[in-house]
Amino acid sequence: MNIHTGTPANAALRTGPFAEALRAAITARGLSLDSLQRRLSDRGVRVGTATLSCWQNGRRRPERPDSLRAVSALEEILGLPGGSLLVLLGPPRPRGHGVGLPAGSREYRHILPTWAALTDLLASLGTVADNKLHIAAQHEQVWIDGAGCSPRRENFQILRAHQDGVDRYVAIVDADPGADIERVHVEALENCRLGRVRRDAEAGLLVAELLFDLTLRPDQTHLIRYAVTDHAAVECRDFHRGFRFPAGQYALQVRFDPAHLPVACFAYRGAAEHELPMTGHHAVHINVDPVPPGIVGIRWDWI
C-alpha cells in the first residue's frame, strides 16, 4: 500500500517534523510496532520497539549510520517515496555537554564538590538558564561583622546571553561550612525579581531564580543587582566564586568590622595565592580581568 496525496501522512511528509511524519505513516499502514520491528528484522535491520516508539514520539531521533539505514528500510515497509523520511531529519545535531557554550567552559563537577546536589536542584527548577548566559562583568561586596560572620553580600552583574530565549539568571549560593541554609536568603534589588528558590540542607546549597522583564537575544546584555543575606551566624574564613564560563571582569571586595580584623588576607585563583594589603577602610579586594573558568577568591586568617 502506498501513501496517497491528500492523506494526513502525506501532509506530514511535506511539512514534517520527522516524528509526526513517521507516526502518521505507521498509522496509515496499520502496523503495530512489534510488526514493524519484525519486518525490519527480516531485512537484517535490528531496531527495538522502544526505539521505534521514541522516534515516532519525538523523544529521540535517528542519527547514527545504522539508524539511518533503518529509516531507509522503514520508507520501503511503509510504502513511502525513497528519502522522504530521511530528508526530514536534516543535518546531524551537535552533541556533547559543551554544545552552544563558550570555548573553555567547565562542568559543575570541576568547580563545586557538591556538584551532584547542585545538579539535582537545577533539575528541580526545570531550567537550563545557567547554560545560556555568562558574566560580562561582576562586582561583589562582602561584609564581615564583629563576630567574624558574613551577614550580607551584594552583587552587581552584567550578564551576556550566548544563546537565545534567556529570561532569568540562576543565583547559586554555597553556604559556609556548618551554616543552616534555611537561614540564607536571596533578595532581588534591581532589574530582576525573585522567582523559585530551592535548598539542599545537607549540601548547604541554595539556588534562586532572578527573573528579568525581557527575553535576551544572543549577545544581548542585562544588568542586575541582588543581595544574599545570611543569618546563620557561622564564622567565615573564605569567600570565593566559581566560574563555569570565561567571564569579563570580576572585582571582589571583602570589608571587615574594625573591631575584629584578620591577621592576614590572601587572594587565590586555582592553586596560585598571594597576600593582599588591607586599606585604611579595613577592606581588601581583587580584580581579575578577564576571568578564566575556575575558582577565584579571598581567604583570611583570624588570630
Q: CATH number, domain at 33?
A: 1.10.260
Asked whether residue 260 falls in the same domain as residue 114, the answer is yes
pLDDT recorded at residue 3: 42
Q: With 0.85 as the threshold, say if the pTM is over it.
A: no
Asked whether residue 120 falls in the same domain as residue 84, the answer is no
Q: Do 140 and 155 contact (CB within 8 A), yes or no? A: yes
> What is d(CA 239, CA 219) in angstroms, rounded to the nearest whole number?
30
pLDDT recorded at residue 108: 79
Asked whether residue 58 falls in the same domain as residue 201, the answer is no
pLDDT recorded at residue 254: 98
In degrees rounded to 5, what are phi and psi of residue 56?
-80, -15
pLDDT recorded at residue 94: 46
pLDDT recorded at residue 9: 52
Buried b (16+ CB within 10 A) or exposed e, 183-203: ebbbebeebbeebebbbbeeb
- Which residues does the chain have with pLDDT short of 50? 1-8, 94-99
Q: Is residue 24 part of a domain?
A: yes
Asked whether residue 172 falls in the same domain as residue 276, the answer is yes
pLDDT recorded at residue 96: 45
Question: What is the end-to-end Cα distance of the chain in Å, rounded?
Answer: 86
CATH number of the domain where residue 155 is located: 2.60.40
Q: Do 172 and 122 contact (CB within 8 A), yes or no? A: no
pLDDT recorded at residue 60: 76
Asked whether residue 252 falls in the same domain as residue 294, the answer is yes
Q: Is residue 1 part of a domain?
A: no
Asked whether residue 81 falls in the same domain as residue 138, the answer is no
Q: Is residue 96 part of a domain?
A: no
Domains of the chain: total = 2
Asked whether residue 130 falls in the same domain as residue 242, the answer is yes
Asked whether residue 33 falls in the same domain as residue 143, the answer is no
Asked whether residue 141 falls in the same domain as residue 51, the answer is no
pLDDT recorded at residue 24: 87
Q: Is residue 102 part of a domain?
A: no
Q: Is residue 3 part of a domain?
A: no
Asked whether residue 241 falls in the same domain as residue 114, the answer is yes
pLDDT recorded at residue 115: 82
Asked whether residue 156 falls in the same domain as residue 287, the answer is yes
Asked whether residue 284 falls in the same domain as residue 204, the answer is yes
pLDDT recorded at residue 25: 87
Structural domain including 51 reads 8-89
pLDDT recorded at residue 14: 63
% the chain with pLDDT above 70: 88
